Amino acid sequence: MPSKHTVKVKPNINGITSVDIKQKKNVTLIDTDNEIVFEFGGPWGVTAMMIGFPLLMFYLWGCLQFYRGKLVLPLEGELWSQIIKEAWPTWYATKIYLMFCLYELFLAYFMPGPIVKGAPVASLNGKKLDYLCNGVMSWYVTLITSYILHRYGYFRLTEIIDNLGPLMTVSIITGFTITFTVYIVTIIQGNQYRMSGNIVYDLFMGAALNPRLGRVDLKMFAEIRVPWVVLFYISVSAAVKEYEMFGYVSATMAFMVLAHFLYVNACAKGEECIPTTWDMTYEKFGFMLIFWNFAGVPFTYCLGTLYLHLSSIDNGRPIQHSPAWTFFCYALLISGYYIWDTANSQKNRFRMTLNGTYIPRSTFPQLPWGTLKNPSYIKTKQGNLILTGGWWGYARKIHYSADLMMAFSWGFICGFNTPIPYFYPAFFVFVLTHRVTRDMERCARKYGKDWDEYCRQVPYIFIPGVY
Ligand code: NDP
């Protein structure tokens, strides 16, 4: 039976600990991830999602834009004629969206940053790929560039919220175009991996595991350089607009800017932790990741911001809550962020240390308890170590709970007049629950009895002592 171990640590010159992983030598890497499992209801389920996601995005946007958050009947004819008119893709919106994406790609290619090794890729005989982690530099350069463009009148940031409908449509078209392009190029190159043989299902899940454009990893680029940055700029745009209309930025709109800043900043400052995450090592680059990152995340997670923006126009002043409620929302956001940030960094740094790829960084902010010293763990027969110390001793998916705390705070700050700002937290509950099931089934297959032992030692999934 596996037992609970304490990692042997040897301090390096910076006082940062590294796991002694000599025990990992001679471990054979088995490609347990090359197993085809039909998920999401198989081909029919994913077909419904590929049609349903864009329609849902238009529907929610239309209900907010034209009915101020009332959920009208989905087949209401007026709704769709207005959506077609107001969200029709324009050249202007196409230029804004594509130039932004190309600029981010340019930065991802040329900005300096450390190169981090990913986890061993079983399908590449255990090779570890290089990931150029220049997210922080790209993020700061993006902030400076947007300030200059706005300040000197080349591109006023308010254009984003004023063109939200066309921008969303352009993002949807971009999501589909990239999905088909990457799929076709991957098949032509013969780089497909873990294919089911059903073309619709494979389009949805993707064909390529690690597609690259030169030294840019496209999956990592799509996950962190586009969605959260666009989301952040939608909120900044609404805040600037609010400032221009009322002469101040309300606590509610400032909340959205802060919330989205924290997310995008976390992705940038902790980018070196991402190469060893599940999305990088397991998921392929298909519609699910591409569409959701290029279109779904920014243009559905922003619905709260859009609601605050439209309400301020309707009411002639921004939405304000009691100081107690505002404080509660901020406290929920910040405490959720703290747990989320430190839980992710504890596990990822533990894994990176194990992998021999850990690099200490001084990116801002480095939070207390973000790196564990001397953590407990379970040594699995497969070779990996499962962390049972730090936050991971309290619950197996504590980082999801923390992410949900943040997601609900994004809804709470909008009040309760319409359910639409709660789309993100509600959808996120569904996504994370499904992700937990997928991940736990996969880990149970991968680690067998060692996983049972982990579940015995850490019995709670989301909330310590409750569930
Ligand atoms: P993880 O990065 O946590 O990946 C799970 C994997 O981590 C498992 O498959 C296993 O991989 C490994 N693992 C699990 N438990 C342990 C442990 N105790 N010790 C060591 N390794 C372990 O999950 P996600 O990729 O799903 O999430 C990463 C973050 O991204 C989360 O904070 C999540 O909230 C966030 N997220 C946000 C989304 C959004 O839209 N806002 C969407 C999805 C995620 P292995 O096989 O290598 O052992």
Condensed to tens digits (0 to 9), the pLDDT of residues 227-238 reads 999 999 999 999
Q: What pLDDT, on a 0 to 100 scale, did the predictor assign at position 33?
A: 65
Which of 129-143, 181-195, 262-276, 343-357 shows the lowest per-residue confidence on average (mean pLDDT)? Answer: 343-357
Q: Distance, CA 323 to ligand 1 centroid (Å)?
A: 35
What whole-number distance in Å separates Cα of residue 138 and Cα of residue 119? 24
| Residue minimizing CA distance to atom 28 of ligand 1 | 277
| Residue minimizing CA distance to atom 24 of ligand 1 | 278
Q: Is 277 in the pocket of ligand 1 (CB under 6 A)?
A: yes
* Burial class of residue 433, CB neighbours in 10 A (0-12, 13-18, 19+): middle
Q: Is 349 in the pocket of ligand 1 (CB under 6 A)?
A: no
pLDDT exceeds 60 at position 31: no
What whole-number distance in Å separates Cα of residue 161 and Cα of residue 158? 6
Q: Is 410 in the pocket of ligand 1 (CB under 6 A)?
A: no
Q: Which residue did the predictor score with more confidence, 252 or 75? A: 252
pLDDT exceeds 80 at position 7: no
Q: Is 399 in the pocket of ligand 1 (CB under 6 A)?
A: yes
What whole-number distance in Å separates Cα of residue 398 and Cα of residue 391? 7
The arithmetic mean of pLDDT across residues 185-209, rounded, is: 96
Q: Is 347 in the pocket of ligand 1 (CB under 6 A)?
A: yes
Q: Distance, CA 425 to ligand 1 centroid (Å)?
A: 18
Question: Is residue 181 within a helix (H) or strand (E), and if so which, with residue range?
Answer: helix 164-189
User: Shortest CA distance to 277 belongs to which of 221, 220, 239, 233?
Assistant: 220
Q: How confident is the model at residue 430 (pLDDT cuts 50, 70, 90)?
A: very high
Atom of ligand 1 nearest to the CA of 343: 32
pLDDT exceeds 50 at position 253: yes
The preferred substitution site among 24, 128, 347 for testing ligand 1, maximizing ligand atoms within 8 Å of CB, is: 347
| Residue minimizing CA distance to atom 46 of ligand 1 | 443
pTM: 0.92
Q: Taking all residues of the chain, what is their mean pLDDT, rounded to a whole number?
A: 91
pLDDT exceeds 70 at position 320: yes
